[in-house]
Each structure stands twice: as structure tokens, then as C-alpha cells.
């Protein structure tokens, strides 16, 4: 022990030892400065930096999946910035209703296109292209997206679910980019916001949501590549990635009207997203999601993956419990009905994804 201590002392007092100490201290200081700058940068981006003037990109913004959740909130936040809107989703009646609500509240013109974006029918995209052709489209928000009804092992996921996820999250999103990019390049201005997901952009893997996670990894890679491809023409492409947001898709409800800190309301999320438009290529607009993504980076990937698998496994179990409870209730109601005791449940009695 005494021998080792004196060897260490000799090393510290030698020129090589002194240099080693200086380099270690300098590296530690550098790491501390870099980490402080990162923290300050994050605080600035999320709480101080103002939003861009979004009308610089053009007069119109197109939002897909605009009748509910995050898309509806994007549409309203953009209308607040005095942009005229084209809203796209499947249900014509909900689109008309939302268009009227936005025009009444913000006084901006709103057009709608009812289209099922899981479709591969070229006529669907020709219709969208025709509707957008005469417009000075400055912003496209590719928000519509879908996942499995609940986390599931790949061999159990239906063919139809896989086809719809790929068609909507990958194919339609790419086709819509293609439809607007030509005009944006010609005008020398434009912005495409693709709504990705923390599942692919923050977390190392998405077990039990494999196809969804892979589709969002595509969104991430496409956005990064297109941003560099079109930047020289004045056109920007971003991946704005949420983690949990309280919507129908995440099935997270607000307790007593209040959102969880890790799952903001769509309105809170979209306000942050609109403020971040035109800045970073890949961004977590909501501050707590950015914090979560940064924390994930610091932890060992194996630990994060284990935890994600545990969470998805328990969500899957909960979904199965819900399904068997609904089936048992249906059976009870049916047998009661046959015995003339109770009325059969209404079509609304069982939720779509039960
Ligand atoms: N919520 C989250 O926690 C979360 C987390 C990460 C990423 N994201 C991403 O955020 C985006 C929005 O999610 P959300 O939670 O807001 O979803 P949501 O609440 O389920 O809303 C979906 C919207 O998309 C429309 N839509 C659904 N299928 C469509 C189709 N085939 N064609 C055209 N429109 C369609 C719906 O209207 P119609 O039914 O009338 O068509 C509705 O307006 C998605 O890309 C999702 O992957 C969400």
C-alpha cells in the first residue's frame, strides 16, 4: 500500500503526471460548460425564443388529421396566426363543423378536403392536388397518423393494421410532401412539419409497437433528408416529435380537466409546436418531453428498453382485460335479453377499440 502511494506521488509530481491532471481538469470544465450551455440553450428555445412570422412562408396552411387531437389544435393555433387553412381528414361533417368553428372564432378562410389517407387510390391524391393547386401553400402539417389499437406482438397484429399504418404514416405523408414541394421550391419559400414521435426519435426501440415505431423512424429520416435537400431553395422540413399527448390515440384522459405534466393537452402541445416552426430540423416542442428525451440519452439503452417493454406489456394486458370485461358484459346483456330481463346494449355501449 505504502509502495503504491509513493508511486502515485511520484507520478503526480512528474511532468507527465502534471500534464495528465491539467488535461483531466480542462476536460471536466469543458464538459460542465457544454452541459450548462445545453441547458441554457434548452431554456431559451422552450421559454424565451419567440415564434417566427409564419405568413412569410405563404398565405395558406394545410393540416391533415385536423378534426381531432393534435391536428385540430395545430389548425386553431395556425388560424390564430392569421393563416388561411385547408383541413384534411376522413369525415366531411366533422371537417365542415371545424371549418365553421375556426372561421367564426378567428375570421380566416377555411377550405376542407375529405380524404381517407390510408387509401392508395391515385384519385384521392389527385383530388388533394387539384384543391391545393391554385393556393399559395406556405405550410403543410403532416399530422394524421395511426398506431395499433393497443401494444401487441408483431405476429398477432392484423395485416390490415400494418397496411393502414404504413399507408398513412409513410406513404401518404411522403405523397403530400411531394404534392406541395414543387410549388414551394418555385416560390422559394415553404415549411413542412411532419409529426413524428418520441417512440422513434427519443427512445432506442418500440417493442410491441414495432410497425408504428418504424413508421415514425421513417418520418424522422425523411424530414432530416428533405430539410437538407430543399434548404437551399428556401424550403424547410421539420420533424416535430411528441411523447405522450392527451388525445384519443394515446387514450390518456385529463383528470378533472387538468393534463398530466408528461401528457399535455393538444392545445398546449400545438402552441409550443407552432412557436418552434421554422427552427430546428428535429425538435421536441413541449419542454417536459425535451427533458424526458434528454434523460433517456443519459441512461443505458438496455435499461430504457427494458422499462419501455414493461410499460407496453402492462398496456397490452390492460387492453386485454378491458376486452374480456366488455365481452362478458355483452354476453350477460344478451342472455338477460333472451330471458326478457334487460335491453341489449346500444352500439355505443362498447368502444371502437374494445
Ligand atoms: N397522442 C399522442 O400521445 C402521440 C404521441 C406521439 C405521436 N403522436 C402523433 O401525433 C399525430 C396526431 O395524433 P393524435 O393523438 O392527435 O390522433 P387522434 O386524436 O386520433 O386524431 C386523429 C386525427 O386524424 C384523422 N384521421 C385518422 N385517420 C385518418 C385517415 N385515414 N385519413 C385522414 N385523416 C385521418 C382523424 O379524423 P377522422 O377520423 O375524421 O379522419 C383525426 O382528425 C399522429 O401522427 C400520431 O402518431 C401522437
Q: Which atom of ligand 1 is nearest to the CA of 144?
A: 24
Judge whether 174 and 225 are in contact, CB under 8 Å. Answer: no
- Torsion sign, CA atoms 309, 315, 316, 321: positive
> Which position has the higher pLDDT, 103 or 5?
103
Position 2 pLDDT exceeds 70: no
63 C-alpha to ligand 1 centroid (Å):
11
Q: Tell me what pLDDT residue 62 has.
A: 98
CA-nearest residue for atom 24, ligand 1, is 65
Q: Does the C-beta of 267 come closer than 6 Å to ligand 1?
A: no
139 C-alpha to ligand 1 centroid (Å):
18
Q: Does the C-beta of 193 come closer than 6 Å to ligand 1?
A: no
116 C-alpha to ligand 1 centroid (Å):
12
Q: Does the C-beta of 71 come closer than 6 Å to ligand 1?
A: yes
Band (56; pLDDT cuts 50, 70, 90): very high
* Runs of H (alpha helix) within the chain: 2-13, 15-43, 69-80, 92-106, 122-132, 159-165, 173-187, 198-201, 210-230, 266-275, 287-298, 301-338
Q: Does the C-beta of 143 come closer than 6 Å to ligand 1?
A: yes
**pLDDT tens, 98-152?**
999 999 999 999 999 999 999 999 999 999 999 999 999 999 999 999 999 999 9
318, three cell numbers: 390492460
Q: Does the C-beta of 284 come closer than 6 Å to ligand 1?
A: no
Q: Which atom of ligand 1 is nearest to the CA of 117?
A: 32
Architecture of domain 54-298: 3-Layer(aba) Sandwich (3.40)
Q: Does the C-beta of 89 come closer than 6 Å to ligand 1?
A: yes
Position 31 pLDDT exceeds 90: no
Count Cβ atoms within 10 A of the Cβ of residue 84 and give its class: 0-12 exposed, 13-18 middle, 19 or more buried: buried
Catalytic residue status for 279: no
Where are the domains positioned within the chain?
Answer: 54-298, 301-349
What is the spatial distance between Cα 85 and Cα 112, in angstroms, rounded to a whole number?
Answer: 8
Name the active-site residue from 57, 212, 230, 286: 212
Position 3 pLDDT exceeds 80: no
Q: Provide the whole-model pTM.
A: 0.88
Q: Tell me what pLDDT residue 336 has.
A: 79
Amino acid at each position: 500500500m505504502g509502495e503504491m502511494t509513493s508511486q502515485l506521488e511520484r507520478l503526480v509530481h512528474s511532468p507527465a503526471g502534471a500534464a495528465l491532471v491539467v488535461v483531466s481538469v480542462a476536460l471536466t470544465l469543458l464538459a460542465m460548460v457544454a452541459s450548462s450551455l445545453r441547458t441554457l440553450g434548452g431554456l431559451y428555445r422552450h421559454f424565451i425564443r419567440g415564434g417566427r412570422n409564419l405568413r412569410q412562408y405563404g398565405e395558406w396552411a394545410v393540416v391533415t388529421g385536423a378534426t381531432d387531437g393534435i391536428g385540430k389544435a395545430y389548425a386553431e393555433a395556425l388560424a390564430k396566426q392569421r393563416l388561411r387553412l385547408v383541413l384534411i381528414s376522413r369525415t366531411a361533417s366533422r371537417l365542415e363543423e371545424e371549418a365553421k368553428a375556426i372561421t367564426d372564432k378567428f375570421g380566416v378562410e377555411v377550405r376542407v378536403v375529405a380524404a381517407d389517407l390510408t387509401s392508395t387510390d391515385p384519385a384521392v391524391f389527385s383530388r388533394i392536388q387539384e384543391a391545393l393547386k391554385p393556393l399559395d401553400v406556405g405550410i403543410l402539417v403532416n399530422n394524421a397518423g395511426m398506431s395499433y389499437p393497443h401494444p401487441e406482438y408483431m405476429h398477432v397484429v392484423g395485416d390490415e393494421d400494418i397496411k393502414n399504418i404504413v399507408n398513412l404514416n409513410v406513404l401518404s405523408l411522403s405523397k403530400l410532401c411531394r404534392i406541395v414541394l414543387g410549388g414551394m421550391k418555385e416560390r422559394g419559400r415553404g415549411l413542412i412539419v411532419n409529426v413524428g414521435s418520441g417512440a422513434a426519435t427519443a427512445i432506442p426501440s418500440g417493442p410491441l409497437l414495432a410497425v408504428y415505431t418504424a413508421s415514425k423512424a421513417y418520418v424522422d429520416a425523411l424530414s432530416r433528408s428533405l430539410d437538407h435537400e430543399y434548404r437551399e431553395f428556401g424550403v424547410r422540413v421539420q420533424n416535430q416529435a411528441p411523447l405522450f399527448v392527451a388525445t384519443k390515440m394515446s387514450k390518456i384522459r385529463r383528470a378533472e380537466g387538468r393534463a398530466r405534466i408528461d401528457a399535455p393537452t393538444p392545445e398546449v402541445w400545438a402552441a409550443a409546436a407552432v412557436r418552434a416552426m421554422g427552427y430546428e430540423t428535429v425538435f421536441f416542442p413541449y419542454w417536459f418531453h425535451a427533458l424526458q428525451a434528454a434523460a433517456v440519452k443519459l441512461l443505458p439503452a438496455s435499461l430504457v428498453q427494458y422499462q419501455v417493454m414493461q410499460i407496453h406489456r402492462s398496456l397490452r394486458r390492460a387492453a386485454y382485460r378491458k376486452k374480456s370485461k366488455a365481452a362478458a358484459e355483452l354476453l350477460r346483456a344478451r342472455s338477460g335479453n333472451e330471458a326478457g330481463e334487460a335491453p341489449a346494449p346500444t352500439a355505443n355501449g362498447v368502444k371502437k377499440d374494445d
